[in-house]
Amino acid sequence: MKGKGLSHKLENDLIIRAAMGERTSMVPVWFMRQAGRSLPEYRAVRKRGSILDTIQDPQLSAEITLQPVRRYGVDAAILYSDIIVPAFAVGFGIEVVEGRGPVIKDPFRSKDDLTRLRNLEPETDTPYVIETIKILVEELNIPLIGFAGAPFTVASYLIEGGPSRTYVKTKSLMRLNPALWHQLMDRLTSLAIASLESQITAGAAMFQLFDSWVGILSPSEYREMVAPHSNAVFHRLAHLDVPSIHFGVGTASLLEQMANSGCTVVGVDDRTGLDDAYRITKGKVALQGNLDPVNILIGAEAALSESEKVLSSSAISPGYIFNLGHGIFPESDPEVIKTVVDLVHEKGASIREGTPKP
């Protein structure tokens, strides 16, 4: 069965083909965090309150999703939403604080807290997500990327109570009470699967699983404590037959396992060369990445010359999607981002062929 998202006629399916391992004649590009605070038109339409209020207005969320598509001419839209939406929607008790991120007043501590993570019923718990996607697939002639937080990264917020630099509480719970850890991961795996299934059924043509903070774990701990859960997300959604991207930061030592998860694309951060990533993943998956988003802040010259290096180092991998190594910084100049998109479209394929145009 074809994914529902693909049944919509797409004028531009470059990213889908690249994600399936094809060496495309133009290199597809999108950016993590392309929708949001770096755009003046976002700040203009953004309501007061947190992102969790804004996303409950489907017309507005669709508009915010479309803003970077119009401005940059990227090859995919990413749904304006957040990784903590499913846990928020089942009533775990989460806020998003501006400039800080997700904050939990009463973090996950014990077995009793599992009852705060009931199953997600997307039709009734997150109807606004489904509605936003339905609006978008009518409007878009490029694929819409749905997404979810991977169980580990969502667990880290629930346990730490907010963003962390050390993940002491997360690692402590994992090591002191592995049985409870796995129960928590099972709950979060179910939430991610239910959310992604509803997004794909509504029309998302592919999805990204964000395991942003998993790079703090060793390969053996990842294998035992994380991989069975993240892999279940990809396996349980395989029947929907849409491409999937598995992304994390600082994952050099985890890339092989991440590539064996059942995903079709691995998202590589800027600390690993794409050529090395290809060797590590043995060509089993397409690659996405990995311009350091700081190069966008430095200015057009650095952004363009570093983008050329990224494109060169991607040459070995047939399937390839240009992106950043992590999300756009809010202070980024949209003009610089636009010049990077144009470079990737105009010269990306020839740079990858080793014959850059003058």
Strands 95-97 and 101-103, by their bridges, are antiparallel
Is 37 marked active-site? yes
319 burial (CB, 10 Å; 0-12 / 13-18 / 19+) is buried
Window contacting ligand CP3 (CB under 6 A); options: 75-83, 134-142, 269-277, 344-352: 75-83
Contact indicator for 281, 287 with CB cutoff of 8 Å? yes
Q: 17, 23, 46, 71: which is the annotated catalytic residue?
A: 46
Closest separation in Å from C-beta 25 to ligand CP3: 27
Is 157 marked active-site? yes
Contact indicator for 132, 62 with CB cutoff of 8 Å? yes
Per CB under 6 A, the list member of 10, 16, 18, 35 interacting with ligand CP3 is 35
| Position 32 contacts ligand CP3 (CB under 6 A) | yes
Q: 13, 75, 82, 269: which is the annotated catalytic residue?
A: 82
Neighbours of 123 (CB within 10 A): 9
Q: 42, 72, 80, 157: which is the annotated catalytic residue?
A: 157
How many whole angstroms separate alpha carbon 233 and alpha carbon 76?
A: 22
Q: What is the dihedral of CA 340, 346, 349, 351, to 10 degrees?
A: -70
Of 81 and 195, nearer to ligand CP3 (C-beta) is 81
Residue 355 identity (one-letter amino acid): T
Of 144 and 194, nearer to ligand CP3 (C-beta) is 144
| Position 212 contacts ligand CP3 (CB under 6 A) | yes
| Position 82 contacts ligand CP3 (CB under 6 A) | yes
Window contacting ligand CP3 (CB under 6 A); options: 35-43, 179-187, 219-227, 312-320: 35-43
Q: Which of residues 100-129 bind ligand CP3 (CB under 6 A)?
A: 100-102
Window contacting ligand CP3 (CB under 6 A); options: 77-85, 113-121, 191-199, 306-314: 77-85
The helix/strand/coil state of 156 is helix
Burial 130-151 (b: 16+ CB within 10 A, else e): bbbbebbbeebebbbbbbbbbb
| Position 55 contacts ligand CP3 (CB under 6 A) | no
Window contacting ligand CP3 (CB under 6 A); options: 32-40, 179-187, 218-226, 259-267: 32-40
Of 48 and 357, nearer to ligand CP3 (C-beta) is 48
Is 57 marked active-site? no
260 burial (CB, 10 Å; 0-12 / 13-18 / 19+) is middle
Q: Which residue in 43, 40, 131, 38 sits closest to 81, CA to CA?
A: 131
Any idea how long the chain is? 358
| Position 278 contacts ligand CP3 (CB under 6 A) | no
| Position 33 contacts ligand CP3 (CB under 6 A) | yes
Contact indicator for 154, 95 with CB cutoff of 8 Å? no
Strands 320-324 and 286-291, by their bridges, are parallel
Is 116 marked active-site? no
| Position 93 contacts ligand CP3 (CB under 6 A) | no
Contacts to ligand CP3 by CB under 6 A = 32-37, 50-51, 78, 80-83, 96, 98-102, 147, 210, 212, 327
Residues annotated as part of the active site: 33, 37, 46, 82, 157
